[in-house]
């Protein structure tokens, strides 16, 4: 058989061989670090035997699927430890997830954080035992009988939902047996660096109608140094939690009266409006026109767009004058109505329409999370209507605009190109043209990208931008989607140069994604210490005592007249205390004023960046800060003050 490796080379074998045996043949070092295999695009066990020609990629922890196999094995080790310590526990599910794993358990006695240490200690014993992990299968009926005998009702329910002729796979390590599709490591020995991170409640199968189970989260790595670095990042993330900082800095609040519907406070609105002003500035420069469409539209529109059939459970609906209406979950149908409002010619295209539209989507209460997952948010949508020839240059224009946005905030990012899924709509020719246009635009821009085969939207391929924040977490924000279906569904037209009617092609795109979510990301990225241009409070004037309050107010008024956001700390507190409070509030600049400053018309400048920047005239300070704001400069913190 011929085995085609990732680098394109071909190895020939006269007999069937397991993935691990082939890894050993290639390199003993590779075999030691291998965690799984990928055969013709499907992730498999190292124990999988190959007996025919195929493409093979040996996976290690450095790959997403390889890390998944490693962490999935860790979840089984954890479940085995729990069963040893608490034999009456019933097992639900225990998958690997991004950065770790979890296992849902039905425990007779509720677990506490103190129990996690006991479970970790037992896990270390299991790892030290170096238990071989084996796979076996049973017919469906035998599998059900097996788990009924073991008194594992959740496993029985999972199997009962599988087809009658399904062959059920099991994984065993020592006395522990679990229902599982795999893949897993060959033994428990490699899993030496792990940590159980938290406990949470989780409804069985995500339904509030079912029993609440205990979910244990954890993570694992091949090296202790990598685990320590990850745990350090977790601690840093806690300090940067946007919910905590949002409350501390007075930016937004969440109330039980409106779960998932955030309230922006005055400082939060300053921040949000600065972001929106920047959005309008760059879009106007890029040739977009801004529109606003109604927040609620009739059922007929959502039926035409397909949302009523495919998205209704996530939509808020009502009845007006005996007609069904829905609050919009997306802006695109409204934008299409604007396009239809007058005849269009090829001379009008490309037509770039931007909208800062408030959309509502019904998210389950358990999925809500600060500003990151809400039920209403402002989407910085834009819809571009164009001819086929304009696809490539328009994609490049959007990609450049998104790049400009992310560069401004100091975000690194990577790009993914998602191609045609199985349940797609449209002709082969349309899909090939669209995918080639996206690929060509990325190549023209020199952007590195990963191809996600079959992960496009049902109406067209897409490009996703995944940004990386200051502590290494990634967030999917920007996206560019090509759509052939909505122009067809709504019978959109333009008159071509030949005088005939043609169907335009549509781009859906966002740069920020959700404004609210992007603000949450920015809060955590900057740890609340926003660049001066974005900071809701840019300057705080600090009089040394009440005697200089009038001068402080005069300075403050001058700053405001010059378009700067400033306040006066008029409290009868010592100046050291006021400075510390200003630093805790993440104010970029503090202007200390006393006798000398009032006498000479100066201000003593202290910044979040350099500390004491000396005395300056107010005019000089304003000139410098205005230039910093105009250029949207990000000043780095060069010192840490103790006072």
- Which strands make up the sheet holding 589-593, listed edge to edge? 566-568, 539-543, 589-593, 602-607, 611-617
DSSP E strands: which ranges in 45-122?
A: 49-50, 54-60, 90-91, 96-97, 100-106
Least confident of 198-202, 330-334, 341-345, 429-433: 429-433
227-236, 455-464, 570-579, 611-620, range with the lowest pLDDT: 455-464
**629/335 Cα distance (integer angstroms):** 33
Active-site option among 352, 360, 383, 583: 383
Share of the chain above pLDDT 70, in %: 99
pLDDT in tens, 394-424: 999 999 999 999 999 999 999 999 998 887 7
616 is catalytic: no
332 carries an active-site annotation? yes
What's the length of the chain?
643
The reply to whether 90 belongs to the active site is: no
What is the band of 584 on the pLDDT scale with cuts at 50, 70, 90?
A: very high
Please tell me the chain's helix, strand, coil percentages from 3-state DSSP, rounded to the nearest 5: 40, 30, 30
Run of H or E including 477: strand 474-483
User: In this model, does residue 643 exceed pLDDT 60?
Assistant: no
Q: Choose, from 215, 360, 462, 586, the residue flagged as catalytic.
A: 462
Q: Annotated catalytic, 300?
A: no
Taking CA atoms, 415 is separated from 64, 68, 379, 439, 458, in Å, by 16, 22, 20, 11, 20
pLDDT in tens, 17-59: 999 999 999 999 999 999 999 999 899 999 999 999 999 999 9
Per the annotation, the verdict on 379 as an active-site residue is yes
* Band of pLDDT at residue 539, cut at 50, 70 and 90: very high
Residue 184 designated active-site: no
Residue-wise pLDDT for 317-335, tens only, equals 999 999 999 999 999 999 9
In order of their start, the domains of the chain are 2-60 (3.10.20.30), 65-239 (3.30.980.10), 257-291+348-525 (3.30.930.10), 539-630 (3.40.50.800)
Active-site residue identified among 76, 508, 509, 583: 508
414 is catalytic: no
When mean pLDDT is compared across 235-239, 266-270, 492-496, 517-521, the lowest value belongs to 235-239
User: H/E element holding 618?
Assistant: helix 618-630
Q: Please identify which of the residues 80, 379, 481, 485 carries the catalytic annotation.
A: 379
Q: Tell me, what's the pLDDT at 518?
A: 95
Which residue out of 361, 375, 517, 540 is catalytically annotated?
A: 361
Residue 451 and residue 407 in contact, taking contact as beta carbons nearer than 8 Å:
no
* CA terminus-to-terminus distance, the chain: 72
| pLDDT value at 581 more than 90 | yes
- Alpha-carbon distance 524 to 243, whole Å? 9
- Report the run of H or E that residue 135 belongs to, with start and end: strand 133-139
Q: Which is the catalytic residue, given 332, 430, 481, 540?
A: 332
């Amino acid at each position: 058989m011929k085995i085609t490796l990732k680098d394109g080379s071909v190895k020939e074998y006269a007999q069937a061989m397991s993935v691990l045996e082939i890894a050993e043949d290639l390199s003993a070092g590779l075999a030691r670090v291998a965690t799984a295999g990928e055969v013709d695009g499907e992730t498999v066990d190292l124990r999988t035997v190959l007996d025919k020609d195929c493409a093979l990629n040996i996976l290690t922890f450095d790959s997403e699927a390889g890390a998944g196999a490693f962490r999935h094995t860790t979840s089984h080790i954890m479940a085995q430890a729990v069963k040893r310590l608490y034999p009456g526990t019933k097992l639900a599910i225990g998958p690997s997830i991004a950065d770790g794993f979890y296992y849902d358990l039905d425990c007779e006695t509720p677990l506490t954080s103190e129990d996690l240490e006991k479970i970790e200690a037992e896990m270390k014993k299991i790892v030290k035992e170096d238990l071989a992990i084996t796979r076996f299968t049973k017919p469906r009926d035998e599998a059900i009988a097996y788990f009924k005998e073991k008194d594992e009702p959740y496993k029985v329910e999972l199997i009962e939902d599988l087809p009658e002729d399904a062959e059920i796979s099991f994984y065993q390590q020592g006395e522990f047996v679990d229902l599982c599709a795999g893949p897993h490591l060959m033994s428990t020995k490699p899993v030496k660096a792990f940590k159980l991170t938290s406990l949470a409640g989780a409804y069985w199968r995500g339904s509030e109608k079912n029993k609440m189970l205990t979910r244990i989260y954890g993570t694992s790595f091949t090296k202790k140094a990598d685990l320590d670095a990850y745990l350090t990042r977790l601690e840093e993330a806690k300090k940067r939690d946007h919910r905590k900082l949002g409350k501390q800095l007075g930016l937004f609040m969440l109330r039980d009266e409106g779960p998932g519907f955030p309230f922006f406070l005055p400082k939060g609105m300053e921040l949000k409006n600065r972001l929106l002003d920047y959005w309008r500035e760059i879009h106007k420069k890029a040739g977009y026109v801004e529109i606003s469409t109604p927040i609620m539209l009739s059922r007929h529109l959502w039926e035409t767009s397909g949302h009523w059939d495919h998205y209704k459970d996530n939509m808020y609906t009502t009845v007006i004058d005996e007609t069904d209406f829905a609050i919009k979950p997306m802006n695109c149908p409204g934008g299409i109505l604007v396009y239809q409002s007058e005849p269009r010619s090829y001379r009008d295209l490309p037509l770039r329409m931007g909208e800062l539209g408030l959309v509502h989507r019904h998210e389950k209460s358990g999925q809500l999370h600060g500003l990151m997952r809400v039920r209403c948010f402002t989407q910085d949508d834009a819809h571009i209507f164009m001819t086929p020839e304009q696809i490539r240059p328009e994609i490049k224009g959007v990609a450049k605009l998104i790049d400009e946005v992310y560069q401004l905030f100091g975000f690194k990012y990577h790009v993914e190109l998602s191609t045609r899924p199985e349940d797609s709509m449209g002709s082969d020719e349309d899909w090939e043209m669209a995918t080639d246009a996206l690929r060509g635009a990325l190549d023209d821009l020199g952007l590195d990208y990963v191809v996600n085969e079959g992960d496009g939207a049902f109406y067209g391929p897409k490009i996703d931008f995944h940004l990386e924040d200051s502590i290494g977490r990634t967030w999917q924000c920007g996206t560019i989607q090509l759509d052939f279906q909505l122009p067809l569904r709504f019978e959109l037209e333009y008159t071509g140069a030949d005088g005939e009617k043609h169907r335009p092609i549509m781009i859906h795109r966002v740069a920020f994604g959700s404004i609210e979510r992007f603000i949450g990301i920015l809060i955590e990225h900057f740890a609340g210490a926003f660049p001066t241009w974005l900071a809701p409070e840019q300057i705080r004037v600090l009089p040394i005592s009440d005697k200089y309050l009038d001068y402080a107010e005069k300075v403050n008024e001058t700053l405001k007249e010059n378009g700067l956001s400033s306040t006066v700390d008029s409290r009868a507190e010592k100046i050291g205390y006021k400075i510390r409070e200003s630093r805790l509030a993440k104010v970029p600049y503090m202007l200390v004023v006393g006798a000398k400053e009032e006498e000479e018309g100066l201000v003593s400048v202290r910044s979040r960046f350099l500390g004491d920047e000396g005395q300056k005239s107010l005019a000089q300070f304003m000139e410098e800060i205005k230039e910093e704001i105009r250029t949207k400069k990000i000043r780095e913190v060069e010192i840490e003050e103790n006072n």
